[in-house]
């Protein structure tokens, strides 16, 4: 009986939940970078994006963001853009925490409702957008580097069949 429970626990732990909404963001989506630039639905088209939804005083966010930052350099070279999108409206608090976490990825503050449009209900959460602006996958709660890399890998452009000709 103990063996059955152990196998069941192993199977449950090996499974990962990934929501695949396959929809775009609403027209009213808006955020402002710490440098004052507007990010809207149209800004998030043309490249795949990894968007981290966070707040400065969130412990799991503070553990996850450095891991995402480590992936930032590697995946930016592959054409994926990164955005740390804070739900905290106090730009000074966001800027201080971004500096403390040594974030070099784009940091912005949400200026519209974002949890619902991204299809999540907590922070940290991550959304992975295709280059056409469609949300390919989202995940809520703390995610490890391997999980994030699997989602990023789904965004990579596939090599053209005609590329070798």
Summarize pLDDT for 3-45 with one digit per residue, the tens. 433 333 333 343 456 788 788 888 889 999 999 999 999 999 9
- The Cα–Cα gap between 77 and 1 comes to 50
Query: What's the burial of 65, exposed, middle or buried (CB within 10 Å: 0-12/13-18/19+)?
Result: buried
pLDDT value for 17: 61
The residue ranges of every structural domain in the chain are: 25-155
**What is the SS3 assignment for 110?**
strand
Summarize pLDDT for 91-125 with one digit per residue, the tens. 999 999 999 999 999 999 999 888 888 888 899 99
**Considering the domain 25-155 in this protein, what is its CATH number?**
3.40.30.10
- The Cα–Cα gap between 109 and 130 comes to 21
- The Cα–Cα gap between 82 and 139 comes to 15
How high is the mean pLDDT of the chain? 85
pLDDT value for 16: 53
Residues in the chain: 165
- pTM score, whole prediction: 0.84
- The Cα–Cα gap between 101 and 97 comes to 6
């Amino acid at each position: 009986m103990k063996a059955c429970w152990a196998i069941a626990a192993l199977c449950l732990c090996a499974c990962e939940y990934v929501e695949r909404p396959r929809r775009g963001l609403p027209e009213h989506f808006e955020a402002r970078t710490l440098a004052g630039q507007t990010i809207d639905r149209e800004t998030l088209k043309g490249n795949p994006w990894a968007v981290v939804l966070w707040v400065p005083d969130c412990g799991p966010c503070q553990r996850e963001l450095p891991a995402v930052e480590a992936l930032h350099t590697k995946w930016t070279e592959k054409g994926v853009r990164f955005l740390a999108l804070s739900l905290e409206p106090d730009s000074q608090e966001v800027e201080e925490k971004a500096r403390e976490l040594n974030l070099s990825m784009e940091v912005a503050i949400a200026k519209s409702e974002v949890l619902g449009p991204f299809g999540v209900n907590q922070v940290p959460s991550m959304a992975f957008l295709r280059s056409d602006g469609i949300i390919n996958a989202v995940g809520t709660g703390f995610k490890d580097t391997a999980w994030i890399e699997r989602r990023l890998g789904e965004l990579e452009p596939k090599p053209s069949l005609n590329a070798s000709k």
